[in-house]
Amino acid sequence: METKLSKRLAAVAAYVPKNSRLADVGSDHAYLPLFLVEKGHIDFAVAGEVVQGPYQSALANVTQASKQEQIQVRLANGLAAIDSSDQIDTITIAGMGGRLIADILSAGMDKLVNVQRLILQPNNREDELRIWLEENGFQIVAEEMVVENQKFYEILVVEKGQMTLNQLEKRFGPYLMQEKSADFIAKWQNEARKLSQSLEKVPSDHQDDITLLREKIKAIKEVLDVSSSSD
Ligand code: SAM
């Protein structure tokens, strides 16, 4: 049976270049590499997993699909799953916190020398990941927002290079805030609503918290207002 991907993982997969040599870090069931190999889009991948349970399910799925030749499932922490002989040129890291993704990349910088593209899907702290990328010689070349089961996911397509992001771009994403898709607007309207609710509950003597929340809401309004005036 062919592997089917969630909308979120399908969006990540769409940025993997044809015939790339892929490392999928935190692969869990190995769905992403299986899908791409079954489609004939790639023919070599490493599926890395640090936890026994997901590692075993990745191994079982790859074996069941008879794709052991093309997909090597490895039990390892982050980029320790790969070495230079794998000639990996594309890395996907999806479904983890932005800080953890940055930590994985930081710890494996030596493994990134020949990598052409990173496709990253942080579940949170997207701004921290963008800051890490900016400070470590990476540039974002595309971004996409995906909504699935009422959750908003940001996908960052990254290559080597320099970028300078302003405060708003770090938080909202340079491409996402340019494009201002309906999903982008929905995500940030939702966020502004939650922040306003929090603001109402902050005791009046907690001035620092109040200022911080107000600034966050103001930034959202600024970005969203620009969107409506440019329509
Ligand atoms: N990438 C899949 C996806 O997006 O659907 C799985 C996401 S799952 C929520 C995150 C996976 O990353 C878990 O299976 C976890 O064990 C694995 N993981 C977390 N930290 C890791 C690390 N440092 N190295 C490798 N795998 C890791």
Q: So what's the pLDDT on residue 28?
A: 97
Residue 152 main-chain phi, psi, to 5 deg: -100, 130
CA of 186 to the centre of ligand 1 (A): 27
- Token pair listed for 225: 């207002």
- Token pair listed for 98: 């932005």
CA of 116 to the centre of ligand 1 (A): 21
CA of 40 to the centre of ligand 1 (A): 24
Domain 7-164 CATH (choose: 3.40.718.10, 3.40.50.150, 3.30.70.1060, 3.40.190.170) = 3.40.50.150
Per-residue pLDDT reduced to its tens digit, 126-185: 999 999 999 999 999 999 999 999 999 999 999 999 999 999 999 999 999 999 999 999
- Sequence spans of domains, the chain: 7-164, 184-230
For atom 3 of ligand 1, the residue with the nearest CA is 95
For atom 11 of ligand 1, the residue with the nearest CA is 26
Per-residue pLDDT reduced to its tens digit, 13-22: 999 999 999 9
d(CA 8, CA 65): 22
Atom of ligand 1 nearest to the CA of 93: 1
Rg of the chain in Å (alpha carbons): 19
Judge whether 119 and 157 are in contact, CB under 8 Å. yes
